[in-house]
Amino acid sequence: MKISIIGAGYVGLISGACFAKLGHDVVLIDIDADKLATIAKKEDLPIHEEGLQELLEEVHIDTSTDYGKTVDSDVIFVCVGTTADENGNIFSEHLINAANDIAGVLKKQQKYCVVAVKSTVGPGMTESLVIPLLEKSGRKAGKDFGICMSPEFLQEGRGIYHFMNPSRIIIGEYDGRSGDVLERLHQSLKAPVMRASLRTAEMIKLASNAFLATKISFINEIGNICKKLGIDTYEVARGMGLDERIGNKFLNAGIGFGGSCLPKDLRILISGARETGYQPELLREVSNLNENQALKPVELLKKHIKLQGATVGILGLAFKPGTDDIRDSRAIKVAEALLAEGAMVKVYDPLAVANFIKTCPQVLPASKEEVLDSDAVIILTEWEEFMELDYRGKIVIDGRRIEKAREARIYEGVCW
Ligand code: NAD
């Protein structure tokens, strides 16, 4: 099939590379010509993902800033960024621009084409926002073109693996013909396919991430209690996880969740619920707990040193290992809190320093050794290389349970 992907970010670039590997003709459209140039050259890629460089060298993908290149696609995936403010109000300007430009394409389209929204949207937005914009083309959804909502469950760091081995394919469809095209496109992936309405698919995405977020905030709350009682949270989680109804995933207590999805999807869901007049108390607490949890390392450190004038080293800036993504990373909150207390902050991360200093320019990039030489060290991402450092003689606050760090002179885990 001819597949066009609008937005060459984490989702778009990984999806494009994987669809090309599956044998489709892929064109990647973005408004950022510099980003596309690095992708076309296969050098200095805009994102870091395991296996992406190798995959791009193996496949062929066209890149362009010109939406005209998408004419006569079988499927156009919309993968532009959507963000949400603290109240869950979605910033949908990119989505609106993309839908307007796709409407221009639909006018010229000779064959049936399905527009599939992969960008995260609030409940009902594919119908209330995207379809009316596409229909400005004079073409009718469900008749002249198809429309689907194809929620993305990509797990950054191992995005390519998860794209090729998905847990499920959720196809939100406006009509059966649209869903048939998307189901055919994914059939070689051998994953359970569930077809649903557009709104249901949107909600499956939001609810899935809200559930994972809830599990993390839950175990963090248990962890906070266990720490006060002198009980090892990780032992408790191990015992809980042996119950297959609970499972052992997402039970690592620590400083909470970040990234471009969990915090945002939770906020979008909370705001969507409130618009209906329902107050989602549980989800609100999950979010509040997460925000407070991020500041635990700073609270704990204050017990051991005076932050004013101290040098504090941060090990780990990415929101999780395996990625250079720092969106909503807990490290941002921790660094800002340390700076506000008058500390100097040195940072190290194997991939994410360049992204981090764009957001938080007051910190000082440093080597691992320089970070370890600080007055105290805070560990915020569970990179494997942190499991081999020499922490002897140091003061360490551990947000991610790095066992080796226990050899420090003073060691505190956030929930243990
Ligand atoms: P991103 O910011 O990495 O990439 C978005 C890309 O869209 C950027 O390259 C940007 O230049 C481009 N863009 C913006 N406006 C455009 C336009 N009008 N036309 C063409 N390109 C345009 O974002 P991402 O992480 O890839 O996420 C994309 C969407 O997928 C978001 O809605 C996000 O919530 C959702 N999502 C992301 C993940 C993830 O793990 N990153 C997982 C599931 C869902």
Q: Whose CA is nearest to atom 34 of ligand 1?
A: 120
Q: Whose CA is nearest to atom 28 of ligand 1?
A: 81
DSSP 406: G
pLDDT, position 87: 85
**Is the shortest distance between the CB of 412 and ligand 1 below 6 Å?**
no
pLDDT, position 414: 97
42 φψ region: left (φ > 0), alpha (ψ -120 to 50), beta (else)? left
Q: Residue-wise pLDDT tens for the chain (416 aa)?
A: 999 999 999 999 999 999 999 999 999 999 999 999 999 999 899 999 999 999 999 999 999 999 999 999 999 999 999 998 888 888 999 999 999 999 999 999 989 999 999 999 998 999 999 999 999 999 999 999 999 999 999 999 999 999 999 999 999 999 999 999 999 999 999 899 999 999 999 999 999 999 999 999 999 999 999 999 999 999 999 999 999 999 999 999 999 999 999 999 999 999 999 999 999 999 999 999 999 999 999 999 999 999 999 999 999 999 999 999 999 999 999 999 999 999 999 999 999 999 999 999 999 999 999 999 999 999 999 999 999 999 999 999 999 999 999 999 999 999 99
Q: From the CA of 141, how far away is ligand 1's center (Å)?
A: 24
pLDDT, position 86: 86
pLDDT, position 407: 97
| Residue to probe by mutation, ligand 1, list 80, 152, 208, most atoms within 8 Å of CB | 80
Q: From the CA of 336, how far away is ligand 1's center (Å)?
A: 26
pLDDT, position 88: 83
**Is the shortest distance between the CB of 170 and ligand 1 below 6 Å?**
no
8 Å CB contact between 255 and 294: yes
Q: From the CA of 183, how far away is ligand 1's center (Å)?
A: 23
List domains and CATH numbers for the chain: 2-198 (3.40.50.720), 206-293 (1.10.1040.10), 296-413 (3.40.50.720)
**Is the shortest distance between the CB of 326 and ligand 1 below 6 Å?**
no
226 is catalytic: no
**Is the shortest distance between the CB of 119 and ligand 1 below 6 Å?**
yes
Strands 62-64 and 114-117: unpaired
Q: Whose CA is nearest to atom 25 of ligand 1?
A: 10
**Is the shortest distance between the CB of 202 and ligand 1 below 6 Å?**
no
133 φ, ψ (degrees, to nearest 5): -65, -40
pLDDT, position 251: 97
Q: Residues with Cβ < 8 Å from 4, sequence gap 6 or more?
A: 26, 27, 28, 29, 69, 70, 73, 75, 76, 77
Atom number of ligand 1 nearest to Cα 118: 30
**In sequence order, which ranges of 230-261 are alpha helices (DSSP H)?**
233-241
Of 18, 79, 226, 261, which is the active-site residue? 261
Q: Whose CA is nearest to atom 32 of ligand 1?
A: 119
- Rounded to an integer, what distance in angstroms lies between the CA atom of residue 361 and that of residue 415? 30
pLDDT, position 234: 97
**Is the shortest distance between the CB of 32 and ligand 1 below 6 Å?**
yes
- Rounded to an integer, what distance in angstroms lies between the CA atom of residue 286 and that of residue 221? 10
pLDDT, position 405: 98
